[in-house]
Amino acid sequence: MTGPLSTAQIREKYLQFFESKGHLRLPSYSTVAPDPTTLFTVAGMQPFKEQFMGAPAVFDGVANKRVTTAQKCLRIGDIENVGRTLRHCSLLEMLGNFSFGDYFKQESLTWAWEFLTSPEWLGLDRARLYVTIYEEDEEAFRIWTEVNGLPADHILRFGADENFWPADAPKEGPNGPCGPCSEIFYDRGPKYGDDSWADYAVTRESARFLEIWNNVFPQFDRQDPLPDGTPVLKDLPFKNIDTGMGLERIATVVQDVYDFYSNDVFAPIVAKVAEMSGQAYEGPQSVSHRVVAEHIRSVSMVIADGSVPSNTGRGYVVRKILRRACRHAYLLGLREPSLFKLVPIVAERMGDAYPELRENLAKIEATVRAEEESFLRTLEGGIQRLGKLMSGMEKGATLSGNDAFVLYDTYGFPVDLTKEIAEEYGISVDEAGYAESLENAQNLARAGSKYGKSELFGGNMEALDGLSPTVFVGYDDLQADGEVVALVGAGERLTHLSAGSEATVVLSRTPFYAEGGGEVGDTGRIEWDGGSAGKGWGIVRDTRKTPQGVFLHDVLVESGELKEGLSVRAVVSGERQAIQRHHTATHLLQSALRAVLGSGVQQKGSLVAADRLRFDFSHGAALSADEIAAVETLVSRWVSANFAVTWQEMPIADAKAAGATALFGEKYGETVRVVRVGGSVEYAGQTVSSMELCGGAHVTRTGDIGAFVI
């Protein structure tokens, strides 16, 4: 066979090369991150953090300190740049080789050189390779020049902002494994720019010199800096290797195409977008072809891994990516669901390496299509509202920035579409005013989320106008019957919701606790007997409430049809018991901290979930091991005493007079709920008790908490 290597061939060669160097080949881990520090897997090394920290390198029973993978990664920090630049992608395949205390810098850099330049492997021109190294890394300099024979003027040195991974880790974190790195660049030649390698030292951006491979030397465990800001880097138990080569980029280089959208994976998707829309892939509109092609690849992969569009967490990201793609499809004139038709091409191009794309093809197509349908409805609603706003405006007039912002914020109608439609009527949009409204709203959201999220699902306040506050019965009952009073999807009131779709559901009565006071919203299910339409049920994935006390359930209908006016039975999941244990334990922890450290301890926030609790507080110094042990012992004494826990509503003045603990800076109403533990424990001559203002859910006896460990 002639012609350049395909993306699949490059991936395979890479894995084979490292197998030939004694590495164990592992399949890609899921895009769902293996640890809670990120929503999605962002780097090939992420599934191996524990091995870097010293855990045994044993994978499915096979021990090997050398591993190689092609890992699917999702990076969404730069999503606004995807399609606009030719380098950014939200889904990237990272080819990586890893050493857990086995080989180090010498092997890593010489093997990288061999793989890139040997005719047996990629056979790239040595003269076109350039590298950066960490400014103090003489060892890397020596290996590059003396062993690999790279000319010294092909090497640039940078500080930790460029040549450390994670970037700037010593100063900025995160805590955990990190180390200096050496990045390899390929000079794509003057047709991509007339800058030189020396220029890169200043610009640090180049279309010509493309970074293809990062070789990281994780040898430190970054810890919290000293109070004066001095970074703390502890040696890891051993030195490791973590490398990452972007497959999209190396394919661009090997295939000598202008950008990754022209490589063998993307080109057919881009061509299909052009065919469906009848819009050629050229000029300014080509941004839209690229956004659609890139995003459909990402969402197909994350849906194959089990994420679905929703308004929270990972699902929110999926929705955001998909809606950005929908918007660009719309800009290309596609007025019917069309993105789902691209999924088979993604599965065909990438399905050999990621069989989950083929196995879940029907599900991915259906999910994408449903989201497209709902987004197109939103767009239509927005277009009507915009029409009303513009009626009566003269040609040459300006639509206020705040109107454009309300269209976006309340109805999900994107500002670039507002601009485009307004332009057709000769009306312009006050962009500065829009930016100002957006910033004001962001500042408000930030202020409001200091102690956790407080934004509504989807921000669709108007659709909830006129609803009465929900009757909450969930302190006592975990099941309750209620009536569906509203269904809201993408800012619109809906009359019904069919199986497979998701929306915000408002009930007349509910046992579901709405996220608040650090406690997570309840999950569970609702069931109904829909009469002639038959029985149905749906999953409640999260619960929040508006400042007016309307409870919002994020519901995915699994079977049947949910309608306004239906009677449903709402059933809270068993996780609530665990949440209650953690909530009562949070109160005991607060009292214990104040007893051991002094009443200067100020609560700054908390998280009460089913699997853990987190308590944020201010105190001038880190806790010593003895203090931590004292706090644990104190809480455990309450637990073993098995005191009753009771709650009661009372006027705020009475609660304060009785000495109930309140969160500083928090606003309380006239009547408050006070949660009290019915007995106290002794600590160093003090009597320690627990009484707090709290709207959360608690166990009825402290013994229900079980074990308490910090």
The CB-of-7 to ligand SER minimum distance in angstroms stands at 19
Residue closer to ligand SER, measured from CB, 240 or 307: 240
All residues at 6 or more sequence positions from 225 whose CB lies less than 8 Å from its CB, including other chains: 171, 231, 232
- Rounded to whole angstroms, the Cα distance separating 455 from 443 reads 12
Residue closer to ligand SER, measured from CB, 40 or 643: 40
- Rounded to whole angstroms, the Cα distance separating 120 from 265 reads 24
Omega within 30 of 0 (cis) for the link into 166: yes
Which residue's Cβ has the minimum distance to ligand SER?
A: 244
- Rounded to whole angstroms, the Cα distance separating 159 from 118 reads 31
Residue closer to ligand SER, measured from CB, 244 or 489: 244
Residue closer to ligand SER, measured from CB, 75 or 289: 75
Neighbours of 687 (CB within 10 A): 9
Tokens representing 679 are 């007995």
Q: How many residues does the chain have?
A: 710
- Rounded to whole angstroms, the Cα distance separating 254 from 124 reads 8
H/E segment holding residue 683: strand 681-683
- For residue 270, which phi and psi values (nearest 5 degrees)? -60, -40
| CA-based max dimension of the chain | 85
Residue closer to ligand SER, measured from CB, 240 or 311: 240
The CB-of-5 to ligand SER minimum distance in angstroms stands at 21
Nearest one of 635, 563, 626 to 594, comparing CA atoms: 635
Tokens representing 191 are 């047709």
The CB-of-47 to ligand SER minimum distance in angstroms stands at 12
CA dihedral angle for residue 564, residue 565, residue 568, residue 574, rounded to 10 degrees: 50
The CB-of-107 to ligand SER minimum distance in angstroms stands at 16
Q: What angle, rounded to 10 degrees, do the helices at 401-411 and 415-424 form?
A: 130
In 199-232, which positions are buried (b, 16+ CB within 10 angstroms) versus exposed (e)?
Answer: ebeeeeebebbbbbbbbbbbbbbbeebeeeeebe
Residue closer to ligand SER, measured from CB, 45 or 699: 45
Residue closer to ligand SER, measured from CB, 96 or 489: 96
Q: DSSP letter at 586? A: H
- Rounded to whole angstroms, the Cα distance separating 252 from 265 reads 10
H/E segment holding residue 251: helix 247-254
The CB-of-181 to ligand SER minimum distance in angstroms stands at 7
Residue closer to ligand SER, measured from CB, 44 or 518: 44
- Rounded to whole angstroms, the Cα distance separating 224 from 175 reads 7
The CB-of-246 to ligand SER minimum distance in angstroms stands at 9
- Rounded to whole angstroms, the Cα distance separating 695 from 489 reads 28
The CB-of-84 to ligand SER minimum distance in angstroms stands at 22
Residue closer to ligand SER, measured from CB, 241 or 505: 241
Q: What value, to the nearest 5°, has the Cα angle with vertex 607 and ends 668 and 676?
A: 55
Tokens representing 403 are 């109107």
3-state helix, strand, coil in the chain (%, to 5): 40, 25, 35
Residue closer to ligand SER, measured from CB, 214 or 311: 214
Scan for tokens 């190294």, then name that residue.
Answer: 133
- Rounded to whole angstroms, the Cα distance separating 29 from 306 reads 13
**3-state secondary structure (DSSP) of residue 86:** coil
323 near 339, Cβ under 8 Å? no
The CB-of-324 to ligand SER minimum distance in angstroms stands at 24
- Rounded to whole angstroms, the Cα distance separating 599 from 619 reads 10
Residue closer to ligand SER, measured from CB, 246 or 536: 246
DSSP code per residue over 354-370: -THHHHTHHHHHHHHHH
Residue closer to ligand SER, measured from CB, 179 or 458: 179
Distances (CA, A) of 594 to 591, 641, 690: 5, 20, 11
Ramachandran bin of 153, using left for φ above 0, alpha for ψ from -120 to 50, beta for the remaining angles: alpha
Residue closer to ligand SER, measured from CB, 181 or 303: 181
H helices present in 58-130, as ranges = 105-117
Q: DSSP letter at 94? A: E
The CB-of-558 to ligand SER minimum distance in angstroms stands at 38
Sign, CA dihedral 17-20-22-24, equals positive
The CB-of-76 to ligand SER minimum distance in angstroms stands at 15
The CB-of-247 to ligand SER minimum distance in angstroms stands at 12
The CB-of-104 to ligand SER minimum distance in angstroms stands at 15
Neighbours of 151 (CB within 10 A): 11
**3-state secondary structure (DSSP) of residue 543:** strand
Neighbours of 613 (CB within 10 A): 20
The CB-of-85 to ligand SER minimum distance in angstroms stands at 18
Residue closer to ligand SER, measured from CB, 165 or 451: 165
Neighbours of 263 (CB within 10 A): 23
Residue closer to ligand SER, measured from CB, 115 or 528: 115
The CB-of-243 to ligand SER minimum distance in angstroms stands at 5
- Rounded to whole angstroms, the Cα distance separating 325 from 83 reads 10
The CB-of-180 to ligand SER minimum distance in angstroms stands at 12
The CB-of-165 to ligand SER minimum distance in angstroms stands at 5
Residue closer to ligand SER, measured from CB, 144 or 340: 144
Residue closer to ligand SER, measured from CB, 78 or 654: 78
Residue closer to ligand SER, measured from CB, 45 or 506: 45
Residues that bind ligand SER (CB under 6 A): 43-45, 96, 165, 214, 216, 242-244
